């Protein structure tokens, strides 16, 4: 199967997520994070919009997107629903997960709350398992300072293996830095090496067995290690989404193998 | 995990009075709801503070790792804790 418009990520964006790229040169940036960390404030600060994004009504993605230009490149920012996890317990999580998985954004910015980093880092790890193109945006730095919390961004960056930027979206502090990092990641100027989480021996063995088969099925459309983990977990929603988003790509020539995985 | 702190028998979180701070010992749930609790930061060892009750006594608000989260009795009774 050749690389037709049908099979590339941007056509998928158009079809499934109802996102139309006026300019096909635009880089797609996903904005993820826990609820109430100021994702929408970051979104508004970057795009200059006054979007009151609030909660995610169903599966519509159209309303929460905006553009900005940085270093002569155009970026389209998609504000995802606030979630604690990407393991699809709810519609919101599924929307967020499907977008990062199948929408293939050029970079994903995970916004976290500097005042309670611990609870936020769960989502960061999940996004890092899914994609390499991650930038961590530690927001609400002013709030943290006020509470006497100092965040060691350098150490965080080293231990996670992804770029980390401290911001106060409300006042605009750090946003230029954030745009620089997003720019570098999207253009592939900077290669990240997200730290891999090692699971117990049994799980790692199973993963090792599944990954080659999954690589065979998905090629480079999905991270095989991540899919293997979800399969081991018995996540039905992922299979449904794969069916929905990648059907034409995979089923046309590899019917039987996928059928095996459905069992 | 420190086992030395397990002096008392575990109590369900739903039975803890307002104002008490407890430590999570175990989750009795499985599947999706367990996943959900883990995502909310409720893992063995987590410190939880009971903040207040709603007018009808259910749900109850808890401070879990810096966020206020309300849990129904159905869920909180599945979380075994020890007062600390």
B41/A87 CB distance under 8 A: no
Is A89 contained in some domain?
A: yes
Residue pair A225/A207 in contact (Cβ under 8 Å)? The answer is yes
A119/B32 CB distance under 8 A: no
Q: Are residues A136 and A220 in the same domain?
A: no
Residue A59's CB is within 10 A of a number of other CB atoms, namely 14
Nearest CB partner across the interface for B39, out of A84, A115, A118: A84
Is B73 contained in some domain?
A: yes
Residues of A in contact with B41 (CB under 8 A): 118-119, 122
Domain range for residue A167?
5-186
* Residue A244 burial (10 A CB sphere; 0-12, 13-18, 19+): exposed
Is A180 contained in some domain?
A: yes
Q: pLDDT digit of tens for each residue in chain A (263 aa)?
A: 333 444 445 555 555 565 555 555 688 888 888 888 888 888 888 888 776 655 444 444 445 778 888 888 888 888 888 888 887 677 777 788 888 888 888 889 999 989 888 888 889 988 888 888 899 999 889 888 998 988 899 999 988 889 999 999 888 888 898 999 888 888 888 888 888 888 888 888 888 888 888 877 777 777 888 888 888 877 777 777 777 777 665 555 444 444 444 44
Is A130 contained in some domain?
A: yes
CA-CA distance, A19 to A60, in Å (whole number)? 10
Q: How many domains does chain A have?
A: 2
**pTM: predicted TM-score of the whole model, two decimal places:** 0.79
CA-CA distance, A32 to A36, in Å (whole number)? 11
Does residue B41 belong to the interface with chain A, where contact is any CB pair within 8 Å? yes
Is B5 contained in some domain?
A: no
8-state DSSP, A167: -
Domain range for residue B19?
14-83
Half-sphere exposure of A175 (CA within 13 A, CB side): 19
Q: Are residues A153 and A207 in the same domain?
A: no
CA-CA distance, A185 to A188, in Å (whole number)? 5
B66/A87 CB distance under 8 A: no
The two tokens of residue B18 are: 């307002």
Is A193 contained in some domain?
A: no
Domain end call among A186, A213, A229: A186
Q: Are residues A52 and A162 in the same domain?
A: yes
The sheet carrying B11-12 orders its strands as B11-12, B79-83, B21-27, B47-53, B60-64, B67-71
* Residue A208 burial (10 A CB sphere; 0-12, 13-18, 19+): exposed
Q: How many domains does chain B have?
A: 1
């Amino acid at each position: 199967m050749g690389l037709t418009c049908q099979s590339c990520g941007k056509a998928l964006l158009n079809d499934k997520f109802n996102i139309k790229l006026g300019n096909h040169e635009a880089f797609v940036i996903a904005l993820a994070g826990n609820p109430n960390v100021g994702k929408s404030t970051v979104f508004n600060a970057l795009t200059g919009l006054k979007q009151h994004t609030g909660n995610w009504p169903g599966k519509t993605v159209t309303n929460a997107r905006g553009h900005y230009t940085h270093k002569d490149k155009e970026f389209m920012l998609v504000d995802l629903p606030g979630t604690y996890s990407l393991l699809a317990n709810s519609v919101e999580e599924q929307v967020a997960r499907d977008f990062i998985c199948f929408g293939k954004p050029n970079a994903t910015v995970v916004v976290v709350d500097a005042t309670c980093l611990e609870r936020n880092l769960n989502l960061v790890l999940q996004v890092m398992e899914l994609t390499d193109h991650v930038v961590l945006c530690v927001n609400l730095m002013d709030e943290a300072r006020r509470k006497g919390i100092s965040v060691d961004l350098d150490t965080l960056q080293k231990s996670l293996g992804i770029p980390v930027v401290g911001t106060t979206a409300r006042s605009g502090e750090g946003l230029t830095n954030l745009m620089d990092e997003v720019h570098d990641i999207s253009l592939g100027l900077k290669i990240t090496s997200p730290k891999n989480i090692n699971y117990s021996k049994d799980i790692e063995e199973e993963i090792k067995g599944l990954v080659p088969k999954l690589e065979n099925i998905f090629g480079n459309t999905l991270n095989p290690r991540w899919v293997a983990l979800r399969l081991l977990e018995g996540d039905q929603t992922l299979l449904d989404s794969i069916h929905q988003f990648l059907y034409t790509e995979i089923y046309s020539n590899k019917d039987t193998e996928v059928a095996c995985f459905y069992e | 995990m420190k086992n030395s702190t397990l002096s008392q028998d575990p109590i369900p979180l739903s039975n803890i009075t307002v104002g008490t701070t407890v430590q999570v010992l175990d989750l009795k749930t499985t599947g999706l709801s367990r996943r959900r609790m883990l995502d909310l930061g409720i893992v063995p060892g987590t410190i939880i503070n009971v903040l207040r009750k709603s007018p009808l006594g259910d749900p109850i608000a808890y401070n879990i790792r810096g966020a206020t989260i309300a849990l129904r009795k159905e869920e909180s009774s599945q979380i075994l804790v020890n007062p600390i």
